[in-house]
Structure 1
């Protein structure tokens, strides 16, 4: 099928059209540069049958497929249509494939077909935390309860502890945000979309991808290249997780690191213009506010050094926690 949406320009009404269509049936735009998607019923590698399109973006789509080699189990098939992203797509698959953690998706296969790259993954039902935030905003509901959010934080911290302890190279996600955390109907969280992932090589910590593809509100300053001599490391993921928790607890994201540093005249040694979360939601405990403010420090040395320490700071003295079902 053709989608009325051009990846290069991100323009179009996003409606689906037949493969033979030259103009969009819905808005009349020409479909010469439109995104081409697989059709339900298409079979790849003689065993992965497409059942539906889950979503699509500038680098391709995600499909729900039936895996004939595994009793028609439902899987997610992630697609990459950009040849320039092939190397990073391979890194993502190679990093994920050996991982085995309840809060991370499993990867089963990687292959190329029709000049497109594919990754077969565990299908994660439910919705993203971004969708949870948006739904609560539409319904004029208050932010999530603190204990619920801490329960979420503990799960993701466990995943980060696992990733950051990988040998021989720790794994840095580098794109933690509400859209990349899914919650299942049973309340289990999965950290997904490792499209910006990197293995941390302490002998050569630099990366050439810096700000490419990041989401400003959740990205730490070192990911923008704003701190001389500093590169992303486990503390970068801690910053992004804290920004996500801040958003869940207040209903609004924190000021971006870029704005915070620009607001200080580019200096890192003055007081941070970060709105304390309790001023937005007085139901947040002082303990959690302190933990978030520390984790969101502009300079990496001022943050928690490990996800384990962030988890301890958030959960210390809290009420009995449970994995909450999505609402």
Structure 2
């Protein structure tokens, strides 16, 4: 038997960050948005366990975790332990989401693995339990299961769907060099030592999503981590300025970076902006749209 599950990248349309909690995590208020850059995870019956990853030529394989340390390994171990079954299977991860790019590619792979292995092992895990397991793997993994557009609270793992009346078109510019999420959070703490205990609300983005107006959404986009990411990587600030100069409604660092995303009026506008940004400094520029579904079955044989 083989099972293939597809899971999307995410963009944080709003990312409000509070002061670190006693457990070390930062409280977040975020508006998650799933877009059509997706990884596929295929699992097949086997007597042993292995994970193989296939990358497009523009993703540096050096950014991948070491063998056995992939989040897919941890997802499988957690699901198998929850049900008391052996961890067995041959796993192939085909990536299109940038690695260490602030788009939750690892979280997408974990969510896809949970869904695929649940089907392969015939476990029938409830949605509630899948979300609980996902939250143990990472703050973004529950949203990768849910998809669409949603409000994330806590450390991001508590997810509530949002009303979204738009079809939003994006230009996505990945970076060949990853940026560590913990490093960005540490730098945020250095730059903003007086961060509020409660993060800024996402009310403006929520209202813009309900309106379906790209100009309102552009004005409302917000990322508290952008300051830290741009301070660590000034080239990101220059890229954001360039994207808006060539016509994007708004540029934004995605999550903790270093991927930058640009909101456009529609598909044709996105292609125009992508063409203007493509060049020797940024040879890979992608267009995509959202919202799209969370982790979902695409092949079962």
What TM-score bracket applies, with the shorter chain setting the length? under 0.3
Structure with bigger gyration radius? 1
| Structure-2-length-normalised TM-score | 0.28
Relative contact order higher in (CA < 8 Å, ≥ 6 apart) = 2
Normalized per residue, the structure richer in strand is 2
